[in-house]
């Protein structure tokens, strides 16, 4: 699978220890190593990383999800700083530079803001920097509706004209039914066209208390990414080594084939679905 520019999204549940909910430093280090290796292969790489609210809540000693918007934003403020500090240290060990980019929903709707975001991301790629994108949860409540950064990662893929969007989740891909409830559910390997029948298969359940994105949000992401000209793959982020295996052509997860539509506008689609 020959790709020049790749956007990789990893969810909250994939970054934390199941036992305690704290950061899984070994997995983060492996993820960083994978991304640095892609850069060494000449690819442009962008990471969309969830986890700021979850990291913040754990650092502050909270046992459950924050129950108010203000508390979520406060947790994001604490968690985002710690998350980026960890990423920066790990990337520097491999002689790579990471840069933080915080986006809001308004970035999609405002033409000037959208162009500024594109220019910033393009310049970071030219400088050899790996952008780490997250929603600006500390100043806006819109972003918490995006669904664990699934939609945001598709928007980023569209903004930078990526060849591939890789969603690393806590599920192997798109199934014909919820595999947690139905043992006969079958994994769908290829999706040429996203149709209404696929949405009936989607279930709003992730099986964890840190993620917020269900399969429906991943289908929304797939529609944005494929109509913007990118392939999209949903794969299990339990072992991040699958990143290089996928780029080497391994048949892993569910592949949504690019289906570029020049009449597709992200802002119009999000306005309809949010």
pLDDT exceeds 50 at position 143: no
CATH number of 5-273: 3.40.1160.10
Q: Which of residues 91 and 263 earns the better pLDDT score?
A: 91
pLDDT exceeds 80 at position 128: yes
Binning pLDDT at 50, 70 and 90, where does residue 126 land?
A: very high
pLDDT exceeds 70 at position 274: no
Binning pLDDT at 50, 70 and 90, where does residue 210 land?
A: very low
At residue 178, the pLDDT reads 80
Calculate the average pLDDT of the chain. Answer: 85
Model-level pTM greater than 0.85?
Answer: yes
- What CA dihedral angle connects 249, 38, 232 and 183, to 10 degrees? 60
Percent pLDDT > 70 in the chain is 87
At residue 170, the pLDDT reads 83
Count of beta carbons in the 10 Å neighbourhood of residue 10: 24
Task: Compute CA 67 distance to the chain's CA centroid, rounded to the nearest angstrom.
Answer: 24
164-200 confidence digits (pLDDT tens) = 999 998 889 998 888 888 888 899 999 998 887 887 7
Helices (H), 69-143: 69-93, 105-109, 111-126
**For residue 230, what are the CA distances in angstroms to 4, 23, 78, 159?**
11, 30, 33, 11
Binning pLDDT at 50, 70 and 90, where does residue 203 land?
A: low
At residue 270, the pLDDT reads 62
**For residue 88, what are the CA distances in angstroms to 125, 149, 154, 264?**
17, 20, 24, 36
Instruction: Find out whether 225 and 157 touch, Cβ atoms under 8 Å.
Output: yes
pLDDT exceeds 60 at position 66: yes
Where do the domains of the chain lie? 5-273
At residue 207, the pLDDT reads 46
89-107 confidence digits (pLDDT tens) = 999 999 999 999 988 777 8
- The tokens for 78 are 């604490």
- The tokens for 26 are 């070994």
Count of beta carbons in the 10 Å neighbourhood of residue 223: 22
Binning pLDDT at 50, 70 and 90, where does residue 4 land?
A: very high
- Please state, in angstroms and rounded to a whole number, the distance separating the CA atoms of residues 29 and 71: 29
């Amino acid at each position: 699978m020959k790709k020049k520019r790749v956007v990789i999204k990893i969810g909250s549940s994939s970054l934390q220890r199941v036992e305690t909910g704290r950061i899984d430093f070994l997995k983060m280090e492996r993820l960083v190593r994978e991304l640095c290796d892609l850069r060494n292969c000449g690819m442009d790489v962008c990471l969309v990383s969830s986890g700021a609210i979850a990291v913040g809540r754990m650092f502050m000693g909270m046992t459950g999800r924050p129950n108010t918007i203000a508390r979520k934003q406060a947790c994001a403020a604490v968690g985002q700083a710690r998350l980026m500090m960890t990423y920066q240290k790990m990337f520097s060990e491999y002689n790579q530079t990471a840069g933080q980019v915080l986006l809001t929903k308004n970035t999609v709707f405002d033409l000037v803001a959208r162009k500024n975001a594109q220019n910033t991301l393009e310049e970071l790629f030219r400088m050899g920097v790996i952008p780490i994108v997250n929603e600006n949860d500390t100043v806006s409540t819109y972003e918490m509706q995006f669904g664990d950064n699934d939609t945001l990662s598709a928007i980023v893929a569209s903004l930078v004209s990526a060849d591939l969007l890789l969603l690393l989740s806590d599920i192997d891909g798109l199934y014909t039914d919820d595999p947690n409830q139905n043992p006969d559910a079958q994994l769908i390997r290829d999706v040429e066209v996203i149709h209404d029948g696929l949405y009936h298969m989607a279930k709003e359940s992730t099986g964890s208390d840190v993620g917020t994105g269900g399969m429906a949000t991943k289908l929304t992401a797939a529609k944005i990414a494929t109509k913007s000209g990118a392939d999209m793959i949903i794969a299990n982020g339990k072992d991040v080594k699958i990143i290089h295996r996928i780029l080497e052509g391994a048949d892993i997860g569910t592949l949504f084939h690019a289906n570029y539509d020049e009449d597709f506008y992200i802002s119009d689609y999000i306005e309809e679905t949010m």
